[in-house]
Amino acid sequence: MINMIVLKTTRELSLMREACRISAGALRVAGAAIEPGITTAEIDKIAYDYIISQGAKPNFLNYEGYPATACISINDEVIHGIPSKKRVIKAGDIVSIDLGAAINGYNGDNAATFACGDISEEAQRLIDATRESLYAGIKAAKNGNRVGDISSAVQQYVEARGYSVVREFVGHGVGASLHEAPEIPNYGTAGRGVRLVPGMTIAIEPMINLGQPQINIMPDGWTVKTADGKLSAHFEHTIAITADGPVIMTEC
Ligand code: MF3
Ligand code: CO
């Protein structure tokens, strides 16, 4: 029943909130550890240790064979970069960290792009626009709206600024499983798609390229890079649709 949208009760939302709180905490400590000379494996270990210390489980680890706690994607890497002892972060890099935690039978999922040291103005503007596009999407995630309202809000925000939306990967429902229905594309038409109702929990996650939208998957089977070699950024929150509007579950 992978296509079924699972609505959560208020009580289930409060159980899921714990997974989201721990996911947000792990993203915060992982992001704060970024400095020139640190490896992506070291960042991954910091995230792993934090999640375990909270009594939760890293939910990406072993997901479809994924070998780490976090996806750490640098510069022209869009998503799904595999942490490595050989990958050293340097000043001027932009570093996208995506991770989640599971506890109480529920999942949290979040991502953010961080700067290492001084970065170019061009890179900073891309990061800011990607973060803001996530918030534009969240604002559209109102009870009674449709998935297309979220998709269109994200797309319009970024394309108005000359950036492009990755098409091959999308946001998703999240709950007892890391990936549930419905898909939440970062492009689309307002007023179309599944209606948003209270109890839906979704991960909105724009992946935004400085240049063209095309991507390639690397021979490791995971790492996604921009085809044109230009920068990409990624932000994600798990949110709940409620009668009182969208609630960001993965906020520290
Ligand atoms: N980053 C993906 C998401 O946000 C999930 C990662 S899949 C994994 O939905 F296998 F890399 F863990
Ligand atoms: Co996600």
Tokens at residue 235, please? Answer: 């932000």
Q: Which atom of ligand 1 is nearest to the CA of 179?
A: 9
Q: Residue 170 C-alpha to ligand 2 middle, in angstroms?
A: 8
Tell me the fold of 10-248.
Answer: Creatine Amidinohydrolase (3.90.230)
Residue whose token pair is 């970065």: 119
Q: Is 207 helix (H, G, I), strand (E, B) or coil?
A: strand
Tokens at residue 223, please? Answer: 């790492």
Instruction: Choose the residue to mutate in 23, 66, 204 for probing ligand 1, maximizing ligand atoms within 8 Å of C-beta.
Output: 66
Domain ranges, ordered by start, for the chain: 10-248
The mean per-residue pLDDT over the stretch 130-140 comes to 99
Q: Can you give the pTM of this predicted structure?
A: 0.98
Tokens at residue 137, please? Answer: 């999407």
pLDDT for 149-199, tens place per residue?
999 999 999 999 999 999 999 999 999 999 999 999 999 999 999 999 999
The mean per-residue pLDDT over the stretch 27-33 comes to 98
Give the DSSP letter string of 188-228: --TT-SSBP-TT-EEEE--EEESS-S-EEE-TTSS-EEETT
Which run of H or E residues covers position 224? Answer: strand 224-226
Confidence at residue 3, expressed as pLDDT on a 0 to 100 scale: 81
Q: Residue 155 C-alpha to ligand 1 middle, in angstroms?
A: 21
